[in-house]
Each structure stands twice: as structure tokens, then as C-alpha cells.
Structure 1
Amino acid sequence: MAEKEEDIHVIEAVGRSKIIIKDGKVSEVSVSRLRQCPLAKKFALPVNEITPPAVRANIEHRMASWGMCRPYRKISGSVDFVGFGASELISCGILSGSIDAAVLACDGAGTVIVTTPELVQGIGGRMSGLVSTSPLTEEMDRIEQEGGFVLDRAHATIDPVLGVSRAYEKGFSHVAVTVASADVAAAIHKKHPDAFIFGVHMSGITEKDAERLVAIADIVTACASKWIWQIAGARALLQAGTAVPVFALTTRGKQLILDKIARSDRPVLVSGSKLPVYGPELPDPLL
């Protein structure tokens, strides 16, 4: 009888703290490079001071409340967790018709292709930076039953480049993808220059890689990156937010954020300004 594959998931959260989840339990939490983050203070279980025990408690809360890294993980949702997060904006793009497929990384499934705002938000709304994951059959079944496609059911591989190629092969023409690496973004852009690239999980990116990513991305999140703040902020057509903002770098990126504003009933201040605009509270330190 073949040995059961180990159930191990590795994520980075709250300032690139490395978390290892093994057999449904948090087995390791490294020290974060951040002391505090205004976004982390707004989590369902807030992280006010970023320490390994606080990060562990937050991850365990995610596992208990919506099943992160567990077979019964919730994969469908409609609640916005932040105003202009990647999943919120991509969901809006699907609703408006500017995006017809999204390539995302999902714990328990790896790279997936989804076409509904509910799957986009359910998979990405509360997810942090996924480094690697193990396949969870029940979860992958539910993703595919709801119209999604799992790139590699056997190993839950994370391969956004191949995911984008598969999306175009399936006949989609307006494909969005989240990327956390300039190398990955460049590989996607070279093969599929029309793909909508959304840079996420940017804390700690180098100046060189920030330059490369900003040159080809449509939208990037600032996270706690001093280089994204400086480079993307100076070139952005639109900045949404002032604490942990997103920067639109292309006309279609700007339009997507404006579409999100138009669909929201939240009050919004619109004001012309030289960018970036720094809020009174930022991630500390900027990396």
C-alpha cells in the first residue's frame, strides 16, 4: 500500500512570518520582520503587536473559523474583507465583464482557475502568501463542482505561469492572475502580454524586482514594501488607500478600481494629488 502523502502547508503572513501547518495543526511560526501593521489590526482576530504567539493565534483562528488548510475549507464567499484587495477587485472585474477568468493560489488545491466572484472571494479573501500546499481531495472536488479548475490535483502545484496558459487554452480572453514574484510576472507577461497582472505579497521585495514588476503589472499592493511605495507610488495613475494601498499602474488597472468604487455604497473621497500619499499609520517598518 502506498504511503499517504504528508499534509503540509507553508504560508507567509503578517510581514513574511513563515508558518508551517502540518496535519491540521500549526507546527512552526517564525519571527515576523514587522512590528505592526494597520491591516493586521483589522483581522477577524486582530494582531496588534506582531509576535509569533499572536501570529499563531491568528492562523489558528483562520483554521477554526473557515477551515484554512483543512478539507472542509470554505471556498465561496461574497463579503469584502478589505476595500481594495486583490480578490475584491478581481471579483468586481468578473462582475463588470472586464475579467472572465482568475488564476489564483489556493491552500489544499494549488493553482486554480475560477470564473465566479464568489469563488474568487472565497479562495482569496482571507488567504495570505501561499508558498506550498498539499492536495485536499474534498476541497478540490468542491472547487470543480462550482465551476473551477484545479491545475494539478495530484500534487496541488503552484504554477501561475502554467495556470494562465491553461486559462487561455480553455478559451478565456480576459485573464487576471495574482503574482508574488517579479520572475513569475515577467514569465507570464512574455507569454501572455494581455494578462492582467496583480502584484501581491510585496513585503521585502528588492528594488530591482520592484522596478521589474512595476514595469509590467496593472495593479500592485504596497504591503510593507518601501520600494513598491516609492516606485509604484511615483508612477501610479491611481492610489486606493493610504495605510496599505494598492497602486493602479495602467489605464485598465485604474478603471478596475473605479468600477469597484462605483459598485460600492461606501463614501469615497476623490482628490487630485501627487502620489504616493502616506497615511498617518503605516506598516512598521517598511521593508
Structure 2
Amino acid sequence: MAIDQDEHIIEAIGRSRIVIRNGSVVEVGEPRIKDCPLAKRFAFPVLDIRAESVKANIEHRIKAFGMCTADREVLDNREFVGFGASELLSFGLRAGIIDAAVLACDGAGTVVVTKPAMAQGVGGRMSGLVKTSPHLAVMERIENGGGFVLDHTHAAMDQVAGVALAAEKGFRKIAVTIASPEVAVTIRKIHPETLIFGVHVTGLTRDEAEMLSSAADLITGCASKTVREIAGPKALLQAGIAIPIFAMTRRGKDLIIEKIRQSDEQVLVKPTKLPSLGDQQPAPLI
């Protein structure tokens, strides 16, 4: 690949649009969110969400684990949040509840991962990936670790094709992370047994939130007003308060409960109307 083609676009920390070229942050859009309790707990905390602090956080990720570069690390066993998407999918792989997870990875595009450490390593520190460029070294790490890459040439992101690839490889208990409600509906129709996890939902319209709520098993609340208002009351279970995870189906609920059952952490279980939200929410919700 020519060096000037190495471009990655992500949306992160207040839904800022960030462009990374050749390992350097070259553009940071104005954040739409001004305060986020999760961002304050990052390894490189963002206490005041401004373009400058977002840029510093992304630069730290590039330096710390090679995000959007050929040095990108793809394995990690640390939990960053108790019920995040990568944490739940990593646990699901470890517990045998799922046998493959279809994710988006910078430098590789849509990938199928089979090991808990790779689910966490790929997804645990990744934000909303909009576009990426192929890095063969990253793809080799994924494949050497038991994973599969959908598109070696362009690092395309196509979660529908990713689920099909996982099925082609013989996996039957497949999970997938989805940012698009339309894609979630498509996967539910074509591959109805897939565990669908809605992620990166900040800014969804009411119609989009309705669509995702009808198709997904699990949805993260992010900083979405519509997901809290629409998915929250329909959910069977909510995990977390500040950035809630909503289990929309029995399968989603079972995954969270099994993670709790196998954990030694103290947990409060209380029947209540959902959503149950505290005063530490992202602001503004959009």
C-alpha cells in the first residue's frame, strides 16, 4: 500500500470524527458530547471533552497499543468496564456461550475472532470505526491467533458478510457487533440465530432506535437519548447505570446473568422499571 493511502476514520469521545493518517492524528471534529463518566475512567482520562483532549487521548492509544498502525496489538485480558461489549463477548467465548464473534478492527476491517483475549484486544479499546486501511501485519496477528479476516485487500467492513464467513468456517454460536440498525435487521433475517450487539448508538433517530430495539439482543446506551427512551422500557435487563447495557432478549439477558453468576464481584439485583438511570449520565444525551 502506498503510504498516502494509510487513512483511518473513527468516531470517539463525544462522537468526534477523527482522522488518522500514517500513524498521526490529522483531524479532530468538534465533540457533540461535553461530559462522559466513562471517558473520565479511560487509561488516559478525558476529563473535559474538547478537540484538544480528544486528540491527546487518541495519540495515547496510538502510542500505547498501536491503534491504526501496523503495530496494532490484538490481544488483551484486561476488563475495562464490567459489561462492555468486548467484555461480554470475551466472556461468552470463554464460557462457550458463543464460539465466534464478528467485530470491526482498525487495520483489518471485519474480522471473526474465536479467542477471548482477541475479542477483548480488538474491541476493548476501539471506538466507532468508520473507515480503515489494510495492514497485513495486523491481519497476520489475527489469523495467527485463530481469527479470520474478511477482506485482505481493502480491509472492508461488512458485518453481514462477516457473519456469513463465520458460518462458512463452521461456527454456529455466532455473535456480532453492529452500529447500523439496518444491518442488524438484515442479519436477523438472514442469520436469525446470531447474537446481535448494538454498539456506537449515540445520535440514533427514534426510528433507528426502534429498528435496533426490535433486532438486537443487546444494546449499549452510549450517549443516546433515543436508546434510553425506546430500548430502556422494552429491555428485560439493564446492566450498569451511567452507560447502561440493555438486554432486549432472553439470550442477551442470559449472557449477562451468566457473567454475573461466574463473577466474585458483589452485585445488587432488584426488580424495577427500566431504564434506571442515575445522575452520572453523558451530557448532553443525543
Question: TM-score, normalization: structure 1?
Answer: 0.98
Instruction: Indicate if the aligned counterparts of 2:3 and 2:22 stay in contact, CA closer than 8 A.
Output: no
Is the Cα–Cα contact under 8 Å of residues 201 and 223 in structure 2 kept in the other structure? yes
Q: Residue 130 of structure 2 aligns to a residue in which SS?
A: strand
- Which residue does the alignment assign to 1:19? 18
Q: After TM superposition, list the pairs within 5 Å mapping 1:93-108 onto structure 2.
A: 93-108=92-107
Partner of 2:284: 285
Could you tell me which residue of structure 2 aligns to residue 210 of structure 1? Answer: 209
Q: Give the Å deviation of 1:10.
A: 0.3
Aligned to 2:234: 235
Aligned counterparts of 1:216 and 1:202: Cα–Cα separation in 2: 14
Q: Distance in 2 between matches of 1:81 and 1:146?
A: 22
Quote the offset at 1:3 in angstroms: 4.8
Q: Tell me, what secondary structure is at the counterpart of 1:139?
A: helix
* Letter matched to residue 148 of structure 1: G
Q: Is the contact between residue 92 and residue 259 of structure 1 (CA under 8 Å) also seen in structure 2?
A: no
Per the alignment, residue 35 of structure 2 pairs with 36
1:200 counterpart residue number: 199
Structure 1 residue identity aligned to 2:185 = A
Shift of 1:73: 1.1
Separation (CA, whole Å) in 1 of partners of 2:258 and 2:2: 50
The residue correspondences of 1:106-125 to structure 2 (distance < 5 A) are: 106-125=105-124
Distance 2:173 2:110 in 1: 17
Q: Distance in 1 between matches of 2:163 and 2:58?
A: 29
1:15 Cα deviation from its structure 2 partner: 2.2
Question: Contact 2:4/2:22 (CA < 8 Å) preserved in 1?
Answer: no
Q: Deviations over 1:111-147 (max 9, x none)?
A: 0001110110000001000001000111111111111
Question: SS at the partner of 1:19?
Answer: strand
Counterpart position of 2:250:
251
Residues 78-227 of structure 1 aligned to structure 2 (within 5 Å): 78-227=77-226
Unpaired stretches in structure 2, ≥5 consecutive residues? none
> Does the Cα contact within 8 Å between 1:222 and 1:244 map onto a contact in 2?
yes
TM-score (norm. length: structure 2): 0.98
Q: Please state how far the C-alpha of 1:5 moved relative to its aligned partner.
A: 6.2
- Which whole-Å CA distance do the structure 2 matches of 1:142 and 1:281 have between them? 38
Structure 1 Cα separation of the partners of residues 204 and 11 of structure 2: 14
Asked if structure 2 preserves the Cα contact closer than 8 Å seen for 1:115 and 1:147, the reply is yes
Q: Report the Cα offset of residue 170 of structure 1.
A: 1.2
Partner amino acid, structure 2, of 1:101: A
State the alpha-carbon separation in 2 of the partners of residues 28 and 4 from structure 1: 17
Cα deviation 1:26-46 (Å, max 9, x = unaligned): 000000110100001111111
| Secondary structure of 2:72's aligned partner | coil
State, as a whole percentage, how many aligned pairs show the same letter: 56
Residues 91 and 117, structure 1, Cα contact 8 Å, conserved in 2: yes
Q: Where has structure 1 moved over 6 Å in runs of 4 or more?
A: none
Provide the alpha-carbon RMSD of the alignment.
1.0
**Offset of 1:202 from its aligned partner?**
0.6
- The one-letter code matched in structure 2 to 1:81 is F
Note the C-alpha offset of 1:48: 1.1
Distance in 1 between residues matched to 2:77 and 2:186, nearest whole Å? 31
- When residues 281 and 3 of structure 1 are mapped into structure 2, their CA distance, relative to the original with a 3 A threshold, is closer
- Determine the C-alpha separation between the residues in 2 that align with 1:63 and 1:236: 36
Structure 2: distance between partners of 1:158 and 1:15: 22
Find the aligned partners of 1:142 and 1:193 in 2 and give their Cα distance: 30
1:72 Cα offset (Å): 1.3
Separation in 2, partners of 1:72, 1:49: 29
Quickly say closer, same or farther: Cα 1:4–1:44, change in 2 above 3 A: closer
